[in-house]
Amino acid sequence: MNTKLHLFFESARKLTKMSAISVSPSPLFDTLEPLCDLYKRCQVENQEYVITEWLTICLSGTKATLSDEVAEGIVSEYGHALRFLYSYRGSFETFNAYRREIDRLLQWSWFVQKKPVLKLKRLDIEAFIEFCQKPPKRWIGSKMVARFITKDGEIIPNPEWRPFIVKISKKAFQDGERPNKTSFELSQQGIKQIFAILGSFYNALIQEEVTEINPVAQIRQKSKFIRQTSNTPMIRRLSDKQWQMVLETTRQLAEENPKKHKRTLFMLQMLYGMYLRISELASSPRWSPKMSDFFRDTNGDWWFRTIGKGNKMRQIAVSDPMLEALKQYREYLSYSPLPSPDDQNPLIPKEKGKGAMESTRVIRQLIQTCFDSAVNQLRINNEHEEAEMLRSATVHWLRHTGISEDVKHRPREHVRDDAGHSSGALTDRYIDVELKARANTARNKTWGEKR
């Protein structure tokens, strides 16, 4: 055992004797690029030393204690988790989801359960899920923050970071409400992700012959954590009246302030017309959309190429209205009407400076401006119910709205492929014919009174 490692273990054992749930945890894994750098360092340097150095930084501000058993195996277990997360470097969204769950598991196992991750049994995993359903307040944050910050030239854990975040709706926030930690509730989707990600983690450890048991797979009665439903989930989308008002007011904004909102209008049209996710518009290390991603095939048909969820590339059929929107946008940018295969200009340029738009936060803010303008106009038109419902809308609703509208008249398989759905069953969720029929038959029900 090297000297630094020995000192680390000793300091871990001597930490103030406080309950882990009464102290604020510190993050164990950084963002994708620094994590990849850490993994690569482990391949060329002494892994034990590299991980010990990093964990010393991560745990420098925590007051939770490590048991002797955990301390002896912490570097090795961290190395297994690091290698597992590194294997998901190809997809930013997937990496973030896996990092979140693995970080929570290690935090809970080491500091709450006081057991090595490799020693957890079925009952431990069940206890972990119950913990995630109702974590202590000190484990809950009210806003998304960076995991690590720089102070005096040194990287340190962000003291405001928490493993869980309590959220409220956009409408509630606009009404003056603020997140309340006591109202935190882990969603059903969140519980499903725990099962899927931790199950995958232990399967990877089995394949590497690190362990022989997957405690997640031993949980037979998952229904006590995951509610079953026989109803089709309701798709959150804009009504026809809301969408038309959003489009109309955005066009007006583009006329009044073209420098700022010609680009906004084009983004709105892409989000709705091609079912894009907001991450597919912004530039990232994984993918930087360019004008040449619009291309024409040998049949004269136009397509748009993108990389979406799960790092999957797909081609989206471009409609005539979308092609016309592209021409108008390029005309404003003083480009030729349509891009050539060699056009490397960014699809969504920054408003100031050169290069592509990288911030999804800025895109959300611009689209929110359109929503807010539409809400105000609906109120002026005395469409108060439509206005209130639109206040709850998020950018992702545009994708849902576009799919829901197109599936009414396009073949399901075509919409499925353009949307990037892994199966037709996902696309079927947007077909609300049966729901509409049910609603119609219920509308004229009475209290059984004879007339």
Q: How confident is the model at residue 20 (pLDDT cuts 50, 70, 90)?
A: low
Query: Residue by residue, what is the 3-state secondary structure of the chain?
Result: CCHHHHHHHHHHHCCCCCCHHHCCCCCCCCCHHHHHHHHHHHHHCCHHHHHHHHHHHHCCCCCCCCCHHHHHHHHHHHHHHHHHHHCCCCCHHHHHHHHHHHHHHHHHHHHHCCCCHHHCCHHHHHHHHHHHHCCCHHHEECCCCCCEEEECCEEEECCCCCCEECCCCHHHHHCCCCCCHHHCCCCHHHHHHHHHHHHHHHHHHHHCCCCCCCCCCCCCCHHHCCCCCCCCCCCCCCCHHHHHHHHHHHHHHHHHCHHHHHHHHHHHHHHHHCCCCHHHCCCCCCCCCEHHHEEECCCCCEEEEEECHHHCEEEEECCHHHHHHHHHHHHHCCCCCCCCCCCCCECCECCCCCCECCCHHHHHHHHHHHHHHHHHHHHHCCCHHHHHHHCCCCCHHHHHHHHHHHCCCCCHHHHHHHHCCCCHHHHHCCCCHHHHHHHHHHHCCCCCCCC
- The reported pTM is 0.70
The pLDDT, as a whole number, for residue 187 is 86
Q: What percent of the chain has pLDDT over 70?
A: 87
pLDDT digits (tens, 9 = 90+) for 71-125: 999 999 999 999 999 999 888 888 999 999 999 999 999 999 999 999 999 999 9
pLDDT digits (tens, 9 = 90+) for 155-171: 999 999 999 999 877 77
Q: How confident is the model at residue 441 (pLDDT cuts 50, 70, 90)?
A: low
Residue 334: is its pLDDT beyond 90? yes
Residue 429: is its pLDDT beyond 90? no
pLDDT digits (tens, 9 = 90+) for 349-386: 998 888 899 988 999 999 999 999 999 999 999 999 99
Q: Across all residues in the chain, what is the average pLDDT?
A: 87
pLDDT digits (tens, 9 = 90+) for 179-201: 788 888 888 889 999 999 999 99
Find the mean pLDDT for residues 126-142: 93
- Nearest-angstrom CA–CA distance, 248 and 450: 48
